[in-house]
Amino acid sequence: MRGLVLGFAPVALVVATLAHADDWPQWMGPRRDNVWRETGLLEKFPEGGPKVLWRAPVAGGYAGPAVAQGKVYVADYVSSRDVKVENFERQRFTGVERVLCLDAETGKQLWKHEYPVEYTISYPAGPRCTPLVHEGKVYMLGAEGDLNCLDAEKGNVVWSKNLVKQYGAKTPLWGYAAHPLIDGDKLICLAGGSGSLAVALHKDTGEEIWRSLTAPEQGYSPPMIFEAGGVRQLILAHPGAVDSVNPENGKPYWSEPYEATNGAVIMAPVKAGEWLYVGGYSNKNLLLRLDSKQPAASEMYRDVSRAGVSPINVQPFVEGETMYGFDQSGWMYGVDLKTGQRLWQTTEPLQGGRAVNSGTAFIVKQGDRYWMFNEHGELLIARLSPQGFEELDRAKLIEPSNLAFGREVVWSAPAFAHRRVYLRNDKECVCVNLASSTVSSTERSRKKPASGAR
């Protein structure tokens, strides 16, 4: 009997592993921290690359997919003109912004919601913000400030508003790109306009709960909530300051001046222990120390030359007191967060060679490894440490389809869910299996009826 129990133990472990499968319902995943908590994943890619489970047609956009409750949500933009426009150039484009709902198993389109939008932004391929799925609703913020709350099952509109019209704001040069945040009954967004840099709307009705702060521009940095000084603090990084406000009512706690060239503060603030870091264009870095007893902060370093990381497209990741991220220069750095000292640099995740302007690879931690999706459409498995970058494997999964600085790129963050990766460019959404061979074979056997079954 003991031998039988031991013999079945590996199967029991696999079944237990199969029972744990996570959604990816918003930007940076379930906890908004770029950590993939699933197990049972392959260690290296099989010969010829991992299996593509399905491909579904989509149009242009930088918004990554969201995966929840057996569905994939993708935002895109359909225009009659070529939308490959270089940096800083504003042109007018007429078209239709859409939210597509796909079946997560097959890629079949279940529904779509669309509305006409005139784009006046640079990089006009499509929406920037990943759809946010929460309690049966999908929240989508479009590039020109169209905010829609949709029924996640059927796609009908629950409520909608345009932030530019509602708050007398101006669309940022690169469009609305700060991913909204759910906090209790509140949907928190960067709106812009006088007294309404940030607004909290009731997630079920769209009614305003509070508005807070005025800034010269909205910037692009997503709002984040951290616990510090004995309270929950909503941190808002924008071209004029890094502000902390009470997420319940929008009342200010503290403010530190901050300046980002061309309004380009894009990364969300990152917190590690008592440290809070923000970096933006051009080589602007700021480390704050959060007070442990009250909501307050003090400056540790600012705009240190050849220090820190100034991200453009990619959220840096902090592990312990080391920060890993891609700089505006195209170098990937490992950085001592407390001092800003660059411990190492590499271009290997982007195929090596010389660094390229705004070189991009999205970073997600899983176990003791990192998955990185680069602008060439390659998925990498790697290890990151204070000592350096170590590549374990890579595979080409999708083609770059947009233009940046004269090169073809794909700049859309992936979603990691159900032991799969969901990717999109400006032509298709792709679902790729990343389950280990043991898990995959067990899943297949579970789907087959037992011998003699009726």
What's the average model confidence in pLDDT over 367-383? 98
The whole-number pLDDT of residue 13 equals 39
Which three-class secondary structure state does DSSP give residue 109?
strand
CB of 375 closer than 8 Å to CB of 411: yes
Q: Which residues, listed in sequence order, are joined to residue 280 by a DSSP beta bridge?
A: 284
CB atoms inside a 10 Å sphere around CB 82:
10
- pLDDT beyond 70 at 394: yes
- Please enumerate, as own/partner, the contacts of 79-82 that have beta carbons within 8 Å and a separation of 24 or more: 79/119, 79/124
Task: Identify whether the C-beta of residue 410 lies closer than 8 Å to the C-beta of residue 399.
Answer: yes
Of the pLDDT bands very low, low, confident and very high (cuts 50, 70, 90), residue 12 is very low
Residue 1 has pLDDT above 70, yes or no: no
pLDDT tens digits for range 93-130? 899 999 999 999 999 999 999 999 999 999 999 999 99
Q: Which of 282 and 232 is assigned the larger pLDDT? A: 232
Mean pLDDT of the chain: 91
- Burial class of residue 275, CB neighbours in 10 A (0-12, 13-18, 19+): middle
- Report, as an integer, the average pLDDT of 242-267: 94
Instruction: For residue 411, count CB atoms less than 10 angstroms from its CB and return exposed for 0-12, middle for 13-18, buried for 19 or more.
Output: buried
3-state secondary structure 215-281: CCCCCCCCCEEEEECCEEEEEEEECCEEEEECCCCCCEEEEEECCCHHHCCCCCCEEECCEEEEEEC
Per-position b or e across 218-240, b if 16+ CB within 10 A of its CB: bbbbbbbebebbeeebbbbbbbb
User: What does the domain layout of the chain look like in residue ranges?
Assistant: 59-171
**450 pLDDT tier (thresholds 50, 70, 90):** very low
pLDDT-based confidence at 444, cuts 50/70/90? low
Confidence band of 441 (pLDDT split at 50, 70, 90): low
Task: Please state which of the four CATH numbers 3.40.50.720, 3.40.50.1820, 3.30.460.80, 2.40.10.480 is assigned to the domain occupying 59-171.
Answer: 2.40.10.480
Check pLDDT > 70 for residue 454: no
Task: Check: pTM over 0.95? Answer yes or no.
Answer: no
Q: Which residue has the higher pLDDT, 274 or 17?
A: 274
* pLDDT tier at 132, thresholds 50, 70, 90: very high
pLDDT digits 0-9 by tens, 183-193: 999 999 999 99
Q: What is the pLDDT of residue 344?
A: 98
Secondary structure class of 17 (helix, strand, coil): helix
pLDDT tens by residue, 298-344: 999 999 988 999 998 899 999 999 999 999 999 999 999 999 999 99
Distance CA 329, CA 350 (A): 12
pLDDT greater than 70 at residue 170: yes
> Among residues of the chain, what percentage have pLDDT more than 70?
91
Q: For 211-225, write each residue's pLDDT tens digit.
A: 999 998 999 999 999
> Residue 452, Cα to own-chain centre: how many angstroms?
48
Q: Is the pLDDT of residue 430 over 60?
A: yes
Q: How far apart are CA 200 and CA 183, in angstroms?
A: 9
| Residues whose CB falls within 8 Å of the CB of residue 79, separated by 6 or more in sequence, listed in order | 59, 60, 93, 94, 95, 96, 119, 124
Local structure of 337: helix, strand or coil: coil
Mean pLDDT of the 59-85 span = 91
- Residue 154 has a pLDDT of 97
